């Protein structure tokens, strides 16, 4: 049927009807809050390019986790800033590593929280790349051992989910094998399955102190022009044992999120990354946009595209709105 018999505006006049026919619903439970942990006590260093975000010592981080849980945000993603770095990222595998300490402290003091541990080497290497350097490039196969060792160490500390973000070929299989061998067969893997070599990561590299000291990451992160390649990456991670697959970034890659969900029908995460966050914050501070409205529209678009899980620095502000507090 066509106009005038069909008038689509009929379902828009009444607010209750509009809510009744809403197709996509964003929930607090969908959100994951990324956090940065650093050495020291009582440390809360502002991240200048990410307003409202901080590098926090373990004691401060624990209190932030308590605040998140009170708002209904019960999932956090941890990144570490170590006191010392090395050529291979071995510091990330130590039982007394900065993230391992944070996990134990959170588990001891915060109930009903899910801790997702990022697994990568870029924050822990002196050169800032995501693995061991051989012949001026990241060597894929030698990096796999470090990633597997790091994953087991994080699981031993109490991590609930392991999330490898390095983009090495074969990492999910190697990590799955290592976790199972160590008795952690119940720990799921959330792989950064389609992670693009994006310009949107700039503020994160300040936050995690992880900028590469030479070159870039285009030999292991994906070309932003490629979509079919992303499907191959995701299929490979699923075959290797990934339980959740992630697309990163989110906002410029909504088509990838859509394809991922519809082609694989797997639990799908999307990372609303630092540059996406900071653009909204900067425009909001200049009163160029309604910051809260745009924030919620961004998150809703990611959910509408197919994401079941949204990792976002907006998590607590969005939770306030979803909880009816702002």
| Catalytic residue list | 195, 248
Say if residues 159 and 118 touch (Cβ distance below 8 Å). no
User: Cα separations (Å) of 277 from 33, 94, 192, 232, 307?
Assistant: 12, 32, 19, 28, 17
The residues that bridge with 164 in the sheet, in sequence order, are 119
Say if residues 153 and 236 touch (Cβ distance below 8 Å). no
Question: Quick check: bond before 249 cis, omega within 30?
Answer: yes
C-alpha count within 13 angstroms, C-beta hemisphere, residue 12: 3
Tokens (6 digits) for 45? 């260093």
Alpha-carbon span 145 to 23, nearest angstrom: 44
């Amino acid at each position: 049927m066509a106009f005038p018999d069909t008038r689509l505006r009929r379902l828009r006049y009444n607010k209750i009807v509009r809510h009744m026919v809403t197709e996509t619903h964003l929930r607090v439970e969908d959100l994951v809050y990324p956090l940065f942990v650093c050495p020291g006590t009582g440390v809360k260093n502002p991240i200048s390019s990410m307003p409202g975000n901080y590098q926090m010592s373990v004691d401060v981080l624990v209190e932030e986790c308590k605040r998140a849980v009170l708002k209904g945000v019960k999932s956090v993603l941890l990144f570490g800033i170590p006191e010392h770095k090395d050529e291979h990222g071995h510091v990330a595998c130590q039982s007394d590593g900065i993230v391992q300490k944070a996990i134990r402290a959170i588990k001891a003091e915060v109930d009903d929280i899910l801790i997702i541990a990022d697994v990568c080497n870029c924050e822990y290497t002196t050169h800032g790349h995501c693995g061991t350097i051989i012949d001026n490039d990241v060597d894929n196969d030698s990096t796999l051992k470090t990633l597997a060792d790091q994953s087991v160490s994080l699981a031993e500390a109490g991590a609930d989910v392991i999330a490898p973000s390095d983009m090495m070929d074969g990492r999910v299989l190697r990590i799955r094998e290592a976790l199972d061998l160590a008795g952690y067969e119940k720990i799921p893997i959330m792989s950064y399955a389609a992670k693009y070599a994006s310009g949107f990561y700039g503020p994160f590299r300040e936050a995690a102190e992880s900028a590469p000291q030479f070159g870039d990451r285009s030999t292991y992160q994906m070309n932003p022009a490629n979509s079919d390649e992303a499907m191959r990456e995701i299929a490979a991670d699923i075959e290797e044992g990934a339980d959740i697959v992630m697309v990163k970034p989110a906002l410029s890659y909504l088509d990838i999120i859509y394809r991922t969900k519809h082609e694989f029908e797997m639990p799908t995460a999307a990372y609303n990354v630092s540059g996406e966050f900071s653009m909204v914050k900067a425009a909001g501070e200049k009163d160029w946009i309604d910051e809260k409205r745009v924030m919620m529209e961004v998150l809703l678009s990611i959910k509408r595209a197919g994401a079941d899980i949204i990792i976002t620095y907006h998590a607590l502000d969005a939770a306030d709105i979803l909880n009816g507090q702002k």
